[in-house]
Amino acid sequence: MSNIYLNSSMLQHLNHTVQEYVSDWLKSQQLTFNKTNLTANAPVSTSSWTTIVVTALLAYLAWNYLLSVRQSPLPKPARFDVVVPEAAQRHWKGKKLYAATTGTNGNSHRQIECYCPATGQFLGAFESMGREQVDLLVTKARDAQVKWGQTSLQERSRVLASLRDYVLKNQDSIARVACRDSGKTMLDASMGEILVTLEKLNWTIKHGARALKPSRRAGPTNFFMKWYKGAEVRYEPLGVVGALVSWNYPFHNLLGPIIAAIFSGNAIVIKCSENVVWSSRYFISLVRECLVACGHDPNLVQLFYCLPPSANDDAANYFTSHSGIKHLTFIGSKPVAHHVLSAASKSLTPVVVELGGKDAFIVLDSVKDLEALSSVIMRGTFQSSGQNCIGIERVIVSAVNYDKLVSILTHRVGQLRLGSDIDNLEDVDVGAMISDNRFAQLEDMVQDAVNKGAKLLHGGSRFNHPNYPQGHYFQPTLLVDVTPDMDIAQNEVFGPMLVVMKGSDTQDCVRLANSAPFGLGGSIFGSDYNECRSVAEQLQTGNVAINDFATFYVCQLPFGGINGSGYGKFGGEEGLQGLCNAKSVCFDTLPFVSTQIPPPLDYPIPSNAKAWKFVKSFNTGSYTPSVWQRLKALLSLARNAN
């Protein structure tokens, strides 16, 4: 696409032309047009109004496109192709593992075996990396970053635009790869992997440059210095950054840190979970091929994977303590975070920690349409089999709506279908979980709740799927009348469980929401917006969505939690800036003024008595709010200047 540039006079002329055209057209439809409204002079048919809406929307989109073209010429994406793995094809016939394990395979090397959690099909075995490979990956990334750090934001945007175009054109294969390695459904992959990744790419292309441009600051308030002293913050790459990401979104969780790292001028070494090595290797290859197609060194992006630390293998701890890595982003569980932070402290590496959540979904008295609301609850709870850090963990309903909403949810949860649509286009709602190693824990949580008075209306246990006996399936579960003293109300489920709690009123709903030791996200629903805002202010979380679910993440706001959910932020402007050295720079703004040391303060000090009077007068004149005191200080400065 050729670049188009419009100057201001051309834009003004185009704006006038568009307005005149719309005005003339509306008159032909017997409507009056002014700056603020449309007034009908005669009855208007439904088709006419449809035409009006469509025309106005097209004009709006065209106008915004022309403005965006003028503000920043779009980079021309590069085209590239990547061979799709055979296992990503539909109806792939891979052998099934009847006892899938990860660890030593009888040889001297520890192996990571990857398989599809939905079907048990074997995907591949990969040797767990060691300390030597960590050094090699960091060295390659560092060498590539030297040149990359000098690239323009336009060059970096071109890489992201090329990657965006590839993702758009290859959604099916990307989703299928993610599903093979995680067990989720194709629809869940499309929404939870592809949509959010495209949003991050597109947002960074459109708004990333603004976040990284030098930030001019107010400078000193000192009366004598503020006239000539300027100040700004410049955002410069750190060098090589690292990330340790979880398995629940193998594509998005991998691409997110890469997008932020390379756009901010860094190289990145990213550690994937041992559960999704197969898909991560493929997804990394997409980025590396994209870099090559755009004329850059693919070593800028490196993938590291290994088994959990053991007595004979500490590669994971070595990675997080490596002095060549200048920043770490960790997405995972609290127990693992303790190990990561302990290792990172050895090299004083800063870490952003995003842990689990116990997100509350608050339904206030003023909610009108419970049927529509139930759809949001179902999607937010069961997407990716509930393996979502900002998934709905607790639905807290005020007493007015409680019974009716429970009735609606009871009907809907009972209709959910378990299975896999990776190969067959069958109608399924909930896919497999990543493994079965937590099934006993989930069943214990359900039993604890029932023993303490909760009602189990659906599910509550593992499921042996007749078509996929090697798959890891857990029944979609509905628990109601849950109270804060139950284990399931205090600990993250991370599974397909819908937990409903009753609040007596709005303040009781807030109390219940804040009763868990997490603070990642939350949602508030009600028709009284002021009440919703008041509740949002009272929630002890890092993120809140009002009358929507988790859109704070899609909006590319800074993302992160408090309390048991971690600390620090990634995403949005703050996420990009957090991967930079925020270099503070001060300078003289007037060419004929430069900073000089006054004679009374020049070493060796001629007279301590005079120097003291000079500095005291300088302080008074700089910061006093009194004009009279400032004049007196100026006279004192003049008397003691020599």
Q: Decide if 156 contacts 255 (C-beta within 8 A).
A: no
Question: Which residues neighbour 465 within 8 Å (Cβ) at sequence distance 6 or greater?
Answer: 418, 419, 471, 473
Q: Which residues on adjacent β-strands are paired with residue 455?
A: 480
Three-state DSSP at 607 gives coil
Record the tokens describing residue 406, joined without a space.
Answer: 């429970």
Burial 101-116 (b: 16+ CB within 10 A, else e): ebeeeeeeebbbbbbb
Q: Give the CA dihedral 371, 376, 378, 382, nearest 10 degrees.
A: 180
Cα dist from 339 to 128, 294, 303, 357, whole Å: 19, 38, 20, 19
Q: Count of residues for the chain? A: 642
The amino acid at 615: V
DSSP one-letter code for 75: P
Euclidean distance between CA atoms 464 and 475, whole angstroms: 9
Q: Decide if 526 contacts 364 (C-beta within 8 A).
A: yes
Q: Is 354 a catalytic residue?
A: yes
CA geometry: angle 571, 149, 71, nearest 5 deg: 65
Q: Which of 499, 497, 544 is nearest to 520 (CA)?
A: 544
Question: Which residues neighbour 417 within 8 Å (Cβ) at sequence distance 6 or greater?
Answer: 427, 428, 429, 430
Q: Decide if 611 contacts 605 (C-beta within 8 A).
A: yes
Q: Which of 411, 630, 357, 392 is nearest to 499 (CA)?
A: 392
Euclidean distance between CA atoms 415 and 429, whole angstroms: 9
Record the tokens describing residue 339, joined without a space.
Answer: 């190990």
Q: Decide if 565 contacts 356 (C-beta within 8 A).
A: yes
Element (H, E) at 229: strand 229-237
Cα dist from 487 to 447, 448, 500, whole Å: 10, 7, 14
Element (H, E) at 537: helix 529-538
Cα dist from 485 to 303, 450, 489, whole Å: 42, 12, 7
Q: Which of 531, 527, 546 is nearest to 366 (CA)?
A: 527
* Tokens 């185009």 sit on residue: 14
Selecting among 193, 274, 289, 354, the annotated active-site residue is 354
The amino acid at 256: G
Cα dist from 622 to 225, 229, 230, 324, 599, whole Å: 8, 14, 17, 45, 19
SS (H, E, C) 452-505: CCCEEEECCCEECCCCCCCCCEECCEEEECCCCCCHHHHCCCCCCEEEEEEECC
Range 46-54, long-range pairs (CB < 8 A, 24+ positions):
52/26
Tell me which residues are annotated as active site.
354
